A and B are shown apart, each in its own frame.
Chain A
């Protein structure tokens, strides 16, 4: 499964560690929320970066106190129809100020990329090779946005207001 990061196909430096597998001595790991919460301090103390895969039916509030020590938070799309992780992503980015990698996992398909980017995701475990190849073009598909989110893109309403001001200034 290709990983897209910063708009390009990238090598995944993180290892997904199953709940019943032993933690590697070093290196970057991704563990489940359940495993992480069993003993967060022990996991965070080990050498190597930590990422947590957070389920979409658990409040992100429970993760907030660890955010500044996490390199990756992975959110889950069990099916592309299930949009709970979009809310979690915006909360992590916009309310809790998470600046690490926010990774979309699960059924991640081309036609969700734009929504995910706007919600704050910057890494994508893409289900299909062809979709990963199309990432850069898909991300450019839209140039107009109606809603303000934490991604900083200007909304249509604000663009219009700017236009108005520049028009009245030039009069």
Chain B
């Protein structure tokens, strides 16, 4: 956990007071809605279909139990008793009153949480591997660099009015859980031949109406130069990114139009001018930030404690353990994923009661720490393996032990037409129906790893392009239709999915998905060939034939 110091606390309090003044000026009519819009967006406040929506940042997906309890408090006191975890490690509240927002922000600031730049045309919440610091085989904890970037991007005097939003993601593992290839800047920590730690920098990835996989702009940028290199990219983008058309304003379009070589050259020229400046991160500066991250003091514990051996006789426990418990870098410990995808529930929602209970369990079993993943699930990152059986019972009691992590019903979905003013179609009810269709755990387990991602419009908040199966809601003559893609993925082999056939009506989506899954079961080479590999091997055609033969 990163501990705020007096400077961090002062800054977020100053931001709360500025926002309080902005709200006051809006309520008094001194600011027009057009002027206020930009200001509220810079602080995570959207106007949705029914009310204001408030998006709170959870930098690099790390929360303390105290912070999670405070989020529960905000849900209870200012909203309708629940919150929605998003694909960018944020949490959204859907029913906030404008006049109460400054108080909600002030309550959050007390525990070091803010909503700065969770929307608007600026640098957004920096996301990272949700298992950072605990995943086996990691180069180093990427959150040190995430925090340096969080500070660097917060209220940046030059880059707060970019052509469009700008998202960073960082990973330090060979297996990319942070989807860095679909971010404006993706950073992969690795070591060069000399053993020095630095970053492969990717640029121009993104989803939305024109999906692009990020391209490597520089294979190795030493840690000390990270901020100057990032500043060079942002400066080139700020000056030359398109501002004439909102749909062509993301950096991915600039990179595409200039070509990666030309873009890289522009950045290089700019970088050489600022490389040796106050942006240089000396080892001592990095150490300073690193020193304010606290780590648990782990015990020496057995890998196979008696408690676990005993519980292995319970098939329900075993089913959950095999699905939701993951290896930890320290022997005797495990990472436990909490599924926020119950059968029939909206993906990513948690009630205030659940949040409080999870915070208590984190205190008891996970050194007071919770993680938020872009798949819209939570995790307890430091659980002693001996505690798994008792933890499982507690998690099951509050409804977050559905053993469907990474399975077909672990669906990513945007809020869709139920909440969002941009949406063309509903997402949540489609997800809910699919979780019912695939509620049988044995069937889901037989299908294996399969990610379904749903977006209610082309803006792609549900990351449909990179779902193994992607579902995109569109509108045709006032009716909801859905385009379905297969073969997308968001990991280190990121790819954009391919359209399988004509769009289908709302009522047909679940049937089509079932048909695709059946086709896969018939087509896969072996039981352990994952869905995406089968699609890669055979292409879309055999799936199209089977699914559309009778339609």
Question: 8 Å CB contacts to B: which residues of A129-171?
Answer: 130, 141-149, 155-161, 164
Give the complex CA separation of A131 and B510 in angstroms: 55
Contact A147 B152 (CB under 8 A): yes
Question: Do A144 and B14 contact each other (CB < 8 Å), given the known contacts A83-B160, A155-B278?
Answer: yes
What is the 8 Å Cβ interface bit string for chain B, positions 25-45, against chain A (1 contact, 0 not)? 000001000010011000000
Question: 8 Å CB contacts to A: which residues of B146-179?
Answer: 151-152, 154-162
Answer whether residue A81 sits at the interface, using C-beta atoms and an 8 A cutoff: yes
Give the complex CA separation of A160 and B11 in angstroms: 14
Contact B243 A147 (CB under 8 A): no
Contact A109 B7 (CB under 8 A): no
Contact A159 B7 (CB under 8 A): yes
Question: 8 Å CB contacts to B: which residues of A80-103?
Answer: 80-84, 86-88, 90, 95
Contact A114 B151 (CB under 8 A): no
Answer whether residue A12 sits at the interface, using C-beta atoms and an 8 A cutoff: no
Question: Do A111 and B39 contact each other (CB < 8 Å), given the known contacts A81-B121, A83-B158, A143-B10?
Answer: yes
Contact B151 A141 (CB under 8 A): no
A-chain residues with CB within 8 Å of residue B273 when the two chains form the complex:
95
Contact A160 B158 (CB under 8 A): no
Question: Do A118 and B38 contact each other (CB < 8 Å), given the known contacts A83-B162, A141-B14, A156-B11?
Answer: no
A-chain residues with CB within 8 Å of residue B159 when the two chains form the complex:
83, 86
Question: Do A81 and B161 contact each other (CB < 8 Å), given the known contacts A141-B18, A142-B14?
Answer: yes
B-chain residues with CB within 8 Å of residue A148 when the two chains form the complex:
277-279
Q: Looking across the interface, which residue of chain A has its beta carbon closest to that of B160?
A: A115
B-chain residues with CB within 8 Å of residue A156 when the two chains form the complex:
7-8, 11, 151
Answer whether residue A119 sits at the interface, using C-beta atoms and an 8 A cutoff: yes
Question: Do A160 and B7 contact each other (CB < 8 Å), given the known contacts A83-B160, A141-B14, A146-B154?
Answer: yes
B-chain residues with CB within 8 Å of residue A144 when the two chains form the complex:
7-8, 10-11, 14
How many chain B residues sit at the interface, stated as a range, is: 35 or more
Question: Do A83 and B238 contact each other (CB < 8 Å), given the known contacts A146-B152, A156-B7, A160-B7?
Answer: yes
Answer whether residue B445 sits at the interface, using C-beta atoms and an 8 A cutoff: no
Give the complex CA separation of A156 and B155 in angstroms: 13
Contact B277 A119 (CB under 8 A): no
Give the complex CA separation of A95 and B111 in angstroms: 40
Contact A161 B284 (CB under 8 A): yes
Give the complex CA separation of A155 and B155 in angstroms: 12
- The answer, among B8, B14, B151, for a CB contact under 8 Å with A143, is B14
B-chain residues with CB within 8 Å of residue A158 when the two chains form the complex:
278
Contact B38 A80 (CB under 8 A): yes
A-chain residues with CB within 8 Å of residue B5 when the two chains form the complex:
160
Answer whether residue B22 sits at the interface, using C-beta atoms and an 8 A cutoff: yes
Q: Looking across the interface, which residue of chain B has its beta carbon closest to that of A155?
A: B278
| Chain A interface SS verdict (over half) | helix
B-chain residues with CB within 8 Å of residue A141 when the two chains form the complex:
14, 17-18
B-chain residues with CB within 8 Å of residue A116 when the two chains form the complex:
157
Give the complex CA separation of A158 and B279 in angstroms: 11
Q: Looking across the interface, which residue of chain B has its beta carbon closest to that of A156?
A: B7
Contact A119 B279 (CB under 8 A): no
Contact B235 A87 (CB under 8 A): yes
Question: Do A81 and B238 contact each other (CB < 8 Å), given the known contacts A86-B158, A148-B277, A157-B151?
Answer: no
Contact B121 A87 (CB under 8 A): no
Q: Looking across the interface, which residue of chain B has its beta carbon closest to that of A148?
A: B278
- The answer, among A109, A149, A161, A164, for a CB contact under 8 Å with B157, is A149
| Total number of residue pairs linking A and B with CB closer than 8 Å | 96
Question: Do A160 and B288 contact each other (CB < 8 Å), given the known contacts A82-B161, A143-B10, A148-B277?
Answer: yes
Contact B158 A157 (CB under 8 A): no
Contact B157 A147 (CB under 8 A): yes
Contact B238 A157 (CB under 8 A): no
B-chain residues with CB within 8 Å of residue A142 when the two chains form the complex:
11, 14, 18, 155
B-chain residues with CB within 8 Å of residue A83 when the two chains form the complex:
158-162, 238
Question: 8 Å CB contacts to A: which residues of B422-448?
Answer: none
Give the complex CA separation of A164 and B277 in angstroms: 21
- The answer, among B14, B157, B235, B288, for a CB contact under 8 Å with A157, is B288
Give the complex CA separation of A84 and B284 in angstroms: 34
- The answer, among A115, A130, A161, for a CB contact under 8 Å with B288, is A161
Contact A82 B243 (CB under 8 A): yes
Contact A87 B239 (CB under 8 A): yes
Answer whether residue B285 sits at the interface, using C-beta atoms and an 8 A cutoff: yes
B-chain residues with CB within 8 Å of residue A114 when the two chains form the complex:
155, 157
Question: Do A146 and B11 contact each other (CB < 8 Å), given the known contacts A81-B38, A109-B35?
Answer: yes
Question: 8 Å CB contacts to A: which residues of B271-290?
Answer: 273, 277-279, 284-285, 288-289
Contact A80 B161 (CB under 8 A): yes
Question: 8 Å CB contacts to A: which residues of B480-527?
Answer: none
A-chain residues with CB within 8 Å of residue B39 when the two chains form the complex:
111
- The answer, among A80, A86, A146, A159, for a CB contact under 8 Å with B238, is A86
Q: Looking across the interface, which residue of chain A has its beta carbon closest to that of B282?
A: A161
Chain B proximity of A100: nearest CB distance (Å): 20
Give the complex CA separation of A118 and B154 in angstroms: 14
Give the complex CA separation of A115 and B154 in angstroms: 12
Give the complex CA separation of A80 and B38 in angstroms: 9
A-chain residues with CB within 8 Å of residue B243 when the two chains form the complex:
82, 84
Chain A proximity of B345: nearest CB distance (Å): 38
Question: Do A86 and B161 contact each other (CB < 8 Å), given the known contacts A148-B277, A159-B7?
Answer: yes
Chain A proximity of B234: nearest CB distance (Å): 9
A-chain residues with CB within 8 Å of residue B17 when the two chains form the complex:
141
Contact B7 A147 (CB under 8 A): no
Chain B proximity of A80: nearest CB distance (Å): 7
User: Which residue among A86, A144, A158 has the maximum number of chain B CB atoms within 10 Å of its CB?
Assistant: A144
Give the complex CA separation of A80 and B34 in angstroms: 11
Give the complex CA separation of A143 and B10 in angstroms: 8
The 19 listed contacts between A and B (C-beta, < 8 Å) are A83-B158, A83-B159, A83-B162, A90-B158, A109-B35, A115-B157, A115-B158, A116-B157, A141-B18, A142-B155, A143-B10, A143-B14, A144-B11, A146-B152, A149-B157, A157-B151, A161-B284, A161-B288, A164-B284
B interface residues with partner A (beta carbon < 8 Å): 5, 7-8, 10-11, 14, 17-18, 22, 30, 35, 38-39, 121, 151-152, 154-162, 235, 238-239, 243, 273, 277-279, 284-285, 288-289
Which 3 A-B residue pairings sit nearest by Cβ, starting from the closest?
Answer: A83-B161, A148-B278, A118-B157
Known pairs A84-B238, A146-B11; list 9 more (Cβ under 8 Å).
A86-B161, A87-B235, A146-B152, A148-B278, A148-B279, A155-B278, A159-B7, A161-B285, A164-B284
